[in-house]
Amino acid sequence: MASSQVVWGIEIGQTALKALKCSLEDGEVVAEAFDYIEYPKILSQPEADPEELVSEAILQLLERNDAINEKVCISVPGQSGLAKFFKPPPVEVKKVIDIVRYEAKQQIPFELDDVAWDYQMMPGSMVEEGYALESEVGLFAMKREMAYRQLAPFDNANIEVDVVQLAPLALYNMVAYDRMHERLEADVFDPDDPPPSSVLLSIGTDSSDLIVTNGFRIWQRSMPIGGNHFTRQLTKDLKLTFAKAEHLKRNAREAVDPKLIFQTMRPVFNDLVTEVQRSIGFFRSIDKKAEIGELLVTGNTVKMPGLAAYLGKNLGFDVKVVDRFNRLKGDDVLSIPTFRDNAPTFAVCYGLCLQGLGVSQVHASLVPREILTARMIRAKKPWTLAGLAALLIGMTGHYAFMEKSWATTHDNLWSQSITQVDSMKTYRDNHVDEDEKLNAQLTYLDVMGQEVSGDWERRLKWLEVIKAVNAAIPRTTYPDGKIPGPKELPFEERTDIHVTQFETKHYEDLTTWWTEDVARRYREEMRNWGRITNYATISQEDLEAQLAAEAGPTGPGWVIELRCYHYYNSPENIGSEGSNHVRKFMTTSFLTNTVKLPVGKDANGAEIFETFTLEEMGLTYPLLLDDNKAKPSLIANPDFDPTMMPSAPANQGGFAAPAAPAAGDPESAFEPPMLEVPRLDFVYQVVWQEKVLSERLEAKAEALKLKQQEEESAAQAAGESVAAVQ
């Protein structure tokens, strides 16, 4: 690897290649060299060949600066990649990568194998005792194809790139180091009272990057407007060629009619101000506590006369052009007129150098992992070959000395000892063989004993699991054992859940059942369950951390599927009806209920019972498989009386229908034979991994033993503290 004390920061812009060489001397960043190579044509022009123009500029850079053997950091446009910032829940620092990987799958619209991505915790994150509490994580990504395309010109020139960074993040590194270092060195960030933010507007050729930062937090957006839009406006309205319009834009004050030039470009000025106002307004809508103190402007477009003043007048901010760097040393470079004239366009290069020197806040890189791995292997090859050569020389010398010693040894001096050793080896081998035979017999007897003694447990396992599942099905018990009628208790108010089908399927490995769709559905159901139960048994933070670390069931097991329905679907029970009723009662029951099972008999022959949780029974991962809507259903009316049917004329056979009920008689009111009730049908699954009774009792005994040991240790510690006080 190249030395990290000297770094080249290179930006391939649309109009020119900018390069800055910096070193770290006594803790200060010193500029040692720079280069500004303008292309014959702008890369975005239709007749331009970007690959050829960039390759020629890189070759010209090599010619002017001999060979570049130092560390190289390059930037890519902000719109070429993705930068997202999110706040993870409180979790151990070592588990942040799991949350980031989950977040990456949600935020990045491509397969992770097709993307070069990296992350880091932002400054000001609160980490205490290995836990990330108030923290913010930055996630950065770029398509692998795009990364290789950006690296191609450097590979062709045999320049090894060590860091690939998004241009907006390089600008943030520059601002954080050059203008916000005092607050960052204090490393104290209060989310409720954040420091004032600065807006950094980098106006490029075809697009602009807007970054809002207070040093600890970043918000950035790319805007589709840049310096070329001013040139195109002049080309369109004044009927000029692109080259003449570009020259006129750069030298507007020397034009024959400067007022005409500025009036022609005014629509673009207005569009730029509108985009900036819209971006800042959106930022303020998502961060109510942020206060913006200044507007910093970079890029060669800011040299256009009147641009900075126009922005300040229309935006109402104190506008400062970044035409000098406060903490960058090296007067031999900074005093050169070419550098001073183009200083605003070297902000990205400066930020890249800071990252390469290890003094920046953002240090993530988008160089594909396989490239870094290949470089690491290449760097270690010489050391590996040297180690193998040293080992080979040592083994050769050892063999030569041993051969010489063996040549001077006489067989007759060792023959008796060798015979005794062989005899003892034979004696030992016989005993080892006998011991292996006895061990094999013991293993066989152990297996047979377990088969004989454990057979009764396996006969009971299905009865136990059916009892456990049955105990978890919500049902209503009535004091007198009589089910009330529809008038006493309408069907829509009955909380019972009815099971119509009980099916099981065995899996040699439950990971074949735990697919991405099932896992996503399980996480969704657990969040719905927590919300419906108001997080009564587990906090939202603990539930999210548990779901983030959930890997699903593994090994052999069964999936029990229940087909059920219920009538608790009254419109008056908004929020508690339908699937929410299943989550509130059935899911809670499977997660928290217990079941009482017989485990043996005492000396008097009375049954001994033990209480087990459903998780101890091996029942886990309860899952409402579908989320349907209740549908009208006809059910028989238990209060229907055929004799109370309304009377009808006699039929041809001479038989008459029953008499109609007397008018005004409430007891003789007619009840219809069928009732229409909203019914919800659903499918419910739960995983069962067999745990026989002896295993469950052994686990409970071990847990009780550990608990007693902890209590004894706590009591002993309390006694020692009391003795110390006395």
Closest by CA to 165, choosing from 2, 351, 14, is 351
Residue 143 has pLDDT above 80, yes or no: yes
Length of the chain: 726
Q: Is 458 a residue whose pLDDT tops 80?
A: no
72 and 169: one domain?
yes
Using CA atoms of 410, 411, 413, 415 in order, give the dihedral in degrees to the nearest 10.
170
Q: Find residue 686's DSSP bridge partners.
A: 560
Q: Give me the residue label for tokens 């044509």.
A: 41
Distance CA 618, CA 614 (A): 6
Rounded distance, CA 392 to CA 433, Å?
39
Place of tokens 């960052």: 184
| Within a domain: 147 | yes
Same domain flag for 115 and 214: yes
Cα torsion through 60, 63, 65, 71, rounded to 10: 70
| Structural domain includes residue 660 | no
Same domain, 330 and 387: no
Indicate the pLDDT class of residue 262, thresholds 50, 70 and 90.
Answer: confident
Residue 41 has pLDDT above 60, yes or no: yes
Does 380 lie in the same domain as 351?
A: no
Based on the domain organization, do 267 and 150 belong to the same domain?
Answer: yes
Structural domain contains residue 422: no
How many C-beta atoms surround the C-beta of residue 337 within 10 A?
7
Do 178 and 258 reside in the same domain of the chain? Answer: yes
Nearest to 135 by CA among 101, 92, 106: 92
Q: Is the pLDDT of residue 655 over 60?
A: no
pLDDT in tens, 519-540: 999 999 999 999 999 988 889 9
pLDDT at 3 over 60: no
Residue 113 is classified by DSSP as G
Choose between 686 and 711: higher pLDDT: 686
* 397 and 484 in a common domain: no
| pLDDT tens digits, one per residue of 660-670 | 454 445 545 67
57, 172: one domain: yes
Q: Is residue 414 part of a domain?
A: no
Q: What's the CATH code of the domain at 322?
A: 3.30.420.40
Count how many domains the chain has: 3
Rounded to two decimals, the pTM is 0.54
Q: Does 440 fall in a domain?
A: no
First-last CA distance in the chain: 62
* Secondary structure of residue 574 in the 3-state scheme: coil
Residue 706 has pLDDT above 80, yes or no: yes
* Same-domain pairing of 469 and 519: yes
The residue-averaged pLDDT of 578-587 equals: 92
- Label the pairing between strands 197-203 and 292-298: parallel
Separation CA 236–CA 679 (nearest Å): 68
Range of the domain at 187: 6-367
| Mean pLDDT, all residues of the chain | 85
508 occurs within a structural domain: yes
Taking each helix axis as running N to C, give the angle between helix 258-286 and helix 227-238, from 0 to 180 degrees, rounded to the nearest 10.
Answer: 140
3-state DSSP call for residue 287?
coil
CB-count exposure of residue 276 (10 Å: 0-12, 13-18, 19+) = buried
Residues 120/132, Cβ–Cβ less than 8 Å: no
Could you tell me which residues come within 8 angstroms of residue 479 by beta carbon, excluding any fewer than 6 positions away? none
